[in-house]
């Protein structure tokens, strides 16, 4: 299975050496950027390959550039792995943003349509208020259920990545307090460097505009199965799926379990590192 990572794995000059070493990689990245650039204020490749610590390089830390950059890099890496090294996946999957890349690679979205969805989503998420936060916790969902219920929606379960590894998202004060409670129990917590509270109620005001874009796209049956991150919503060929996907919990642990059930024994993560 090929698995595409989500935001947080980006870094300055990612893909630079591969771009100059493999014409196949460069062609794929150029093609992706050609469809992404019309939706951005700065040429994406300039942002990705800028010298560290420059103003242009700093743009990569903004969600509106980080997500399109990861999308472009993943497409180029996929081209390199499949056409140069000859590896062919039996399944695709992705984490949050990476699921859009996976949907394109699986044949559900054309490159122009996927680029529109990625850039719209990134622009909207960039506009989230700074009052939101996300933190990784060493905990299981059942442990947090009562506590999150008491917070009355101010904190959401953003992702279930693996047994004992979840991400919470929501109002900064409540996210920080929840993390502090877990640390007092001897659990590990890690605050994520993100622009807002993804997969939480902070996303709700953005969903109508995201839906407007999603409904203009064309969805195709996949040529290779895409294992979704929503256990109860398995049809990524509808606009509504991609609206809900931006808001609801990323059940990545369920996805990996499903891949194992389908007989997958080897995973290739498509990411910068």
Sign for the CA dihedral angle at 95, 167, 263, 238 comes to negative
DSSP code for 108: S
Same domain for 84 and 9: yes
3 state SS of 248: coil
112 and 213 together in one domain: yes
Q: Residue 250 in contact with residue 96, Cβ under 8 Å?
A: yes
Among the listed residues 136, 126, 101, the one whose alpha carbon sits nearest the alpha carbon of residue 203: 126
Q: Do 175 and 209 sit in the same domain of this protein? A: no
Same domain, 150 and 177: yes
110 plus 169 within the same structural domain: no
CA–CA dist 168, 28 (Å, integer): 35
124-156 burial, b if ≥16 CB within 10 A, otherwise e? bbeebeeebbbbbbbbeeebbeebbeebeebbb
Q: What is the CATH number of the domain that holds 184?
A: 3.30.70.250
Domain of 92, in residue numbers: 2-127+202-270
Of the residues 195, 216, 231, which one is the last residue of a structural domain?
195
The Cα 214–Cα 236 span in angstroms is 11
Q: Which of 195, 212, 245 is the last residue of a domain?
A: 195
Low-confidence ranges of the chain (pLDDT < 50): none
> Strands 268-270 and 2-4: what pairing?
parallel
H/E stretch holding 102 reads helix 97-105
pLDDT score recorded for residue 193: 84
Q: Please, what's the largest Cα pairwise distance for the chain?
A: 55
What pLDDT, on a 0 to 100 scale, did the predictor assign at position 47?
A: 98
CA pair distance 196, 170, nearest whole angstrom: 8
Judge if 172 and 83 occupy the same domain: no
- Distance separating alpha carbons of residues 131 and 196, to the nearest angstrom: 7
The alpha carbon dihedral of 226, 159, 119, 12 has a sign of negative
Q: How many CB atoms lie within 10 A of CB 241?
A: 19
Residue-level pLDDT at 160: 98
pLDDT at residue 12 in the model: 93
The terminus-to-terminus CA distance of the chain in angstroms comes to 17
* 29 and 105 share one domain: yes
- Separation of CA 124 from chain center: 14
Taking Cα atoms as reference points, which of 111, 104, 89 lies closest to residue 2?
Answer: 89
Give the residue from 156, 172, 195 where a domain finishes. Answer: 195
Chain segment 100-140, per-residue pLDDT in tens: 999 999 999 999 999 999 999 999 999 998 899 999 999 99
pLDDT digits (tens, 9 = 90+) for 217-241: 999 999 999 999 998 877 999 999 9
Rg (CA), the chain: 18
Single out the residue of 126, 88, 110 nearest to residue 32, CA to CA. 110
What is the tally of structural domains in the chain?
A: 2
The pLDDT value given to residue 73: 98
Beta-bridged to residue 226, according to DSSP, are 92
């Amino acid at each position: 299975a090929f698995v595409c990572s989500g935001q947080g794995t980006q870094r300055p000059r990612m893909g630079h050496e591969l771009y100059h070493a493999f014409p196949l990689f460069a062609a794929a990245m150029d093609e992706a950027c050609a469809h992404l650039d019309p939706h951005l204020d700065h040429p994406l490749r300039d942002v990705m390959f800028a010298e560290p610590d420059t103003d242009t390089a700093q743009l990569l830390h903004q969600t509106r550039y980080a997500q399109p950059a990861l999308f472009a890099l993943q497409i180029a890496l996929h081209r390199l792995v499949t056409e140069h090294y000859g590896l062919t996946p039996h399944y695709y999957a992705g984490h949050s943003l990476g699921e859009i890349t996976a949907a394109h690679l699986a044949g559900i979205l054309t490159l122009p349509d996927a680029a529109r969805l990625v850039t719209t989503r990134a622009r909207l998420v960039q506009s989230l208020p700074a009052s939101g936060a996300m933190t990784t916790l060493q905990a299981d969902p059942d442990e947090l259920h009562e506590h999150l219920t008491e917070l009355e929606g101010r904190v959401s379960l953003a992702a279930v990545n693996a047994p004992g590894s979840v991400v919470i998202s929501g109002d900064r004060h409540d996210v920080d307090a929840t993390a502090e409670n877990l640390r007092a129990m001897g659990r590990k917590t890690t605050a994520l460097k993100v622009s807002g509270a993804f997969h939480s109620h902070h996303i709700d005001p953005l969903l109508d505009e995201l839906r407007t874009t999603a409904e203009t796209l064309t969805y195709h049956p996949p040529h290779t199965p895409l294992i979704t991150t929503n256990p109860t919503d398995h049809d990524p060929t509808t606009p509504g799926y991609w609206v809900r996907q931006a808001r609801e919990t990323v059940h990545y642990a369920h996805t990996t379990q499903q891949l194992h059930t389908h007989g997958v024994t080897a995973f290739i993560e498509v990411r910068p590192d």
